[in-house]
């Protein structure tokens, strides 16, 4: 990978020689001078003091640890005796690959490109893994970690509607500012901490295991934000917000425009020229010390293009970063100052897109600083700090790979791919560190790159894909193939560290298919008379101009249709009970088998009545009807954002050309294991109960999954 790393300061040859001579002279002077008692400054003082302190504390800690270790071990041994006494293995390693597709995997195995997965298939197990309804990552991974259907874990999509305002909100967590504040003029002083409420329900399997004394390392499993307490370590994954509280808002700085432009996932900030220097700023979070919520914090920076016009120096927060065109910087620490002593810290990478004729600089969404987290992103809190100290700064944002930047052509394919692999390398280091630490217990890590790259590069793979998005890189059709091969290498390296008596599982939450045409469910509802507009035939984002008093249903997100239910929605029109049931049935019947007139293909394969599809206490929060799109189809971009357009069907012309938010039967995930797993049907909900069973714990009755019958290679 190419980096425009902050170059090490290398003194010139002459300077170095002078330095050496000086050092030699100093050494000689010190050797041949009489003893003198002198204090030699804070540098030496710090060196000596901190070294002494480190050694002293380490020694004290070591002695205490050694002395108390047998007692602690006895105590823990007694506590976890139950778990390990009946355990079929002492160690389970789970590699999760978001979106690894069984069809592609099988194809590449047959072509001999995935030798490690082939080995697992031969010696152990390869099966498809039934995904959830709908087959969306937050839903599927929530079922993976809880062992229950969505009706019990309450996650149905990335977004869920706020029934009072008909606006989307994050389905997994709710972040609210301080509830009690002291107002002084234009300023407010928060008296309590911001509230972060997890919306995912049910209990992850690692809580049961930890309670029984089984240590678990959980790395970047989706929907683990905010991190919940348990006796193990966890780094939150998908749905961790950026510093602005969004799911990823990048900034693009350019001389092309003189006005700031904002969209849902980006901010375009103009450069202000001052001589040879260009000034701009990274937008930060709202200033919570101001009564006006529109006041945002900013991290100013300036760029000075180099003489060669292919390089530039970025000066931010007193640091200088050299960067070349077409390269990423290392992680840059940013500080957003709200007042004296009050600041929020974040990190981002810069990517210099061009210097001439226009200066264009991309900055990733500002990730929460892992060493100074503004919100908790790990359990214990020190775990994210530990990882940052051990391996350097790393991406903390849930959806760290910036698909929006490529989708909207702010990044080229090459740049996006490089970003993905930079993040992946960080993840690999975290995983192997956790693997080394988890000599006994469960180590689980989810890698997202498989999902992101397939979303954006599927059109390279599929023949005759209708996506008209330009290919903006040198990457050929082998991007996805190479991706699978790299994941196979990772699996191979993991296999080397996992003995046969330990269980290795390779799982994915869903597979992948092409996304060629979009179906606007809101337009369909409008045309069918279920959704009414106030004026005109179209609406803006998020149901702008929708006449709720005449609307009976609406669609938000990727697969769901919601009834405008009385008592649930603020302007509900549909009576709960019989009318709601009739409407659900009506939608299911009308939508199932919907044909795209332009292609004569099946756009919607199946539809599901939530009341029949789900069980559990949170079924009422689900979309009332879940749509299972046919292959090549998905909810259109406009539909997902609550916009009504004249046409129901439209071509997907974005780089985002692969998807999985379709009928779950079309996109199962993969299940590989180094053990023989028996049984006929395997589902992602089975993983949690299987793990409890492996460690000899009783499977809670509320879990929907069932433990797989399996045997280690040695016993078979």
Q: Which residues form the interface with another protein (CB under 8 A)?
A: 8, 19, 22-23, 26-27, 29-30, 33-34, 36, 38-47, 49-51, 54-55, 57-58, 61-62, 65, 69, 72-73, 76, 215, 233, 318-319, 380, 382-383, 385-386, 388-390, 392, 436-437, 439-440
- Read off the tokens for 494: 């993991």
Burial class (CB in 10 A: 0-12, 13-18, 19+), 234: buried
What does the alpha-carbon distance between residue 301 and residue 358 come to, in Å, rounded to a whole number? Answer: 18
User: 28 Cβ partners below 8 Å, 6+ apart?
Assistant: none
Tell me which residue of 242, 235, 448 sits closest to 349, measured CA to CA: 242
Sign of CA dihedral 277, 282, 288, 293: positive
Q: How far is CA 467 from the centre of its chain?
A: 25
> Which of 162, 333 has the CB closer to another protein?
333
Tell me which residue of 117, 96, 119, 94 sits closest to 498, measured CA to CA: 94
3-state secondary structure of 639: helix
- Check if the beta carbon of residue 147 is closer than 8 Å to that of residue 685: yes
Paired strand residues for 316: 301, 319
What does the alpha-carbon distance between residue 606 and residue 613 come to, in Å, rounded to a whole number? Answer: 12
What does the alpha-carbon distance between residue 419 and residue 1 come to, in Å, rounded to a whole number? Answer: 10
Please state the closest distance from residue 714 (CB atom) to another protein, in A. Answer: 23
- 698 DSSP 8-state letter: P
- Check if the beta carbon of residue 643 is closer than 8 Å to that of residue 539: yes
What does the alpha-carbon distance between residue 79 and residue 390 come to, in Å, rounded to a whole number? Answer: 31
What does the alpha-carbon distance between residue 179 and residue 126 come to, in Å, rounded to a whole number? Answer: 51
> Which of 47, 711 has the CB closer to another protein?
47
- 588 DSSP 8-state letter: H
Tell me which residue of 641, 439, 450 sits closest to 544, measured CA to CA: 641
- Read off the tokens for 160: 């869920």
What does the alpha-carbon distance between residue 311 and residue 193 come to, in Å, rounded to a whole number? Answer: 43
| Kind of pairing between the strands at 125-129 and 632-635 | unpaired
Burial class (CB in 10 A: 0-12, 13-18, 19+), 229: exposed
> From the CB of residue 699, how many other CB atoms can be counted at a distance below 10 Å?
18
Q: In what order do the strands lie in the sheet with 604-609?
A: 553-556, 560-563, 625-629, 604-609
> Which of 389, 681 has the CB closer to another protein?
389
Please state the closest distance from residue 228 (CB atom) to another protein, in A. Answer: 17
> Which of 42, 275 has the CB closer to another protein?
42
> Which of 45, 293 has the CB closer to another protein?
45
- Read off the tokens for 155: 């996650």
Please state the closest distance from residue 371 (CB atom) to another protein, in A. Answer: 9
Paired strand residues for 313: 304, 322
- 253 DSSP 8-state letter: E
Strands (E) across 238-382 are located at 250-254, 261-263, 266-270, 272-274, 277-286, 296-305, 311-316, 319-324, 332-339, 342-348, 350-354, 360-363, 367-368, 378-379
The CA–CA distances, whole Å, from 92 to 236, 430, 631 equal 20, 17, 35
């Amino acid at each position: 990978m190419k980096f425009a790393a902050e170059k090490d300061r290398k003194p010139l040859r002459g300077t170095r020689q002078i330095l050496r001579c000086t050092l030699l002279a100093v050494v000689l002077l010190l050797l041949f001078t009489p003893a003198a008692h002198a204090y030699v400054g804070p540098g030496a003082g710090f060196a000596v003091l901190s070294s002494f302190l480190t050694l002293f504390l380490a020694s004290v800690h070591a002695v205490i640890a050694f002395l108390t270790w047998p007692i602690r071990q006895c105590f823990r041994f007694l506590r976890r005796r139950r778990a390990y006494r009946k355990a079929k293995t002492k160690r389970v390693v789970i590699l999760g690959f978001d979106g690894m597709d069984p069809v592609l995997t099988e194809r590449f195995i047959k072509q001999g490109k995935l030798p490690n997965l082939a080995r697992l298939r031969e010696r152990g197990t390869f099966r498809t893994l039934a995904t959830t309804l709908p087959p969306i990552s937050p839903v599927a991974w929530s079922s993976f970690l809880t062992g229950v259907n969505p009706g019990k874990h309450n996650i149905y999509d990335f977004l869920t509607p706020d029934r009072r305002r008909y606006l989307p909100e994050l389905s997994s967590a709710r972040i609210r500012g301080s509830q009690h504040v002291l107002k002084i003029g234009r300023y407010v002083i928060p008296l309590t901490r911001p509230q972060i409420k997890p919306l995912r329900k049910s209990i992850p399997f690692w809580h049961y295991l930890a309670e029984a004394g089984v240590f678990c390392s959980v790395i970047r499993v989706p929907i683990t934000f905010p991190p919940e307490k348990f006796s193990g370590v966890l780094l939150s994954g998908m749905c961790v917000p950026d510093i602005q509280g969004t799911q990823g808002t990048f900034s693009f700085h350019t001389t092309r425009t003189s006005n700031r432009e904002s969209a849902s996932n980006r901010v375009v900030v103009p450069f202000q020229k001052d001589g040879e220097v260009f000034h701009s700023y990274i937008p930060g979070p709202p200033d919570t010390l101001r009564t006006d919520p529109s006041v945002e914090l900013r991290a100013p920076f300036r760029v000075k293009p180099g003489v060669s016009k292919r390089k530039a120096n970025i000066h931010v927060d007193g640091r200088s970063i050299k960067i070349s065109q077409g390269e990423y910087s290392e992680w840059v620490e940013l500080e957003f100052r709200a007042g004296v002593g009050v600041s929020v810290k974040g990190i981002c990478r810069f990517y210099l897109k061009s210097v001439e004729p226009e200066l264009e600089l991309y900055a990733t969404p500002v990730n929460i600083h892992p060493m100074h987290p503004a919100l908790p992103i790990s359990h214990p809190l020190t775990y994210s700090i530990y990882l940052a100290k051990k391996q350097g700064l790393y991406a903390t944002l849930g959806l760290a790979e910036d698909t929006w930047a490529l989708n909207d052509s702010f990044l080229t394919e090459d740049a996006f791919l490089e970003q993905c692999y930079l993040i992946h390398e960080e993840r690999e280091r975290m995983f192997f560190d956790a693997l080394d630490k988890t000599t006994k217990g469960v180590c689980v890590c989810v890698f997202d790159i498989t999902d992101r790259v397939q979303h954006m590069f599927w059109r390279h793979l599929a023949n005759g894909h209708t996506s008209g998005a330009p290919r903006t890189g040198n990457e050929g059709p082998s991007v996805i193939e190479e991706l699978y091969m790299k994941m196979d290498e990772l699996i191979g390296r993991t296999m080397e560290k996992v003995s046969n008596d330990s269980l290795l599982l390779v799982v994915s939450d869903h597979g992948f298919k092409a996304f060629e045409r979009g179906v606007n469910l809101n337009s369909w509802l409008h045309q069918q008379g279920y959704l009414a507009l106030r004026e005109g035939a179209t609406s803006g984002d998020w149901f702008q101009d929708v006449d709720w008093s005449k609307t009976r249903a609406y669609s938000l997100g990727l697969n769901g249709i919601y009834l405008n239910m009385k008592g649930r929605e603020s302007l509900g029109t549909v009576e709960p009970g019989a009318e709601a049931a009739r409407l659900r049935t009506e939608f299911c019947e009308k939508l199932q088998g919907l044909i795209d007139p332009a292609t004569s293909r099946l756009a919607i394969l199946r539809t599901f009545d939530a009341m029949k599809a789900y069980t559990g206490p949170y079924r009422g929060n689900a979309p009332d009807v879940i749509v299972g799109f046919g292959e090549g189809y998905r909810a259109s971009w406009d539909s997902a954002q609550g916009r009504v357009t004249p046409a129901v069907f439209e071509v997907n012309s974005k780089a985002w050309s692969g998807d999985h938010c379709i009928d779950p039967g079309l996109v199962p995930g993969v299940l590989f294991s180094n053990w023989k797993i028996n049984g006929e049907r395997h589902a992602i909900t089975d993983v949690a109960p299987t793990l409890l069973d492996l460690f000899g714990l009783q499977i809670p009755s509320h879990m929907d999954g069932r433990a797989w019958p399996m045997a280690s290679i040695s016993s078979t």
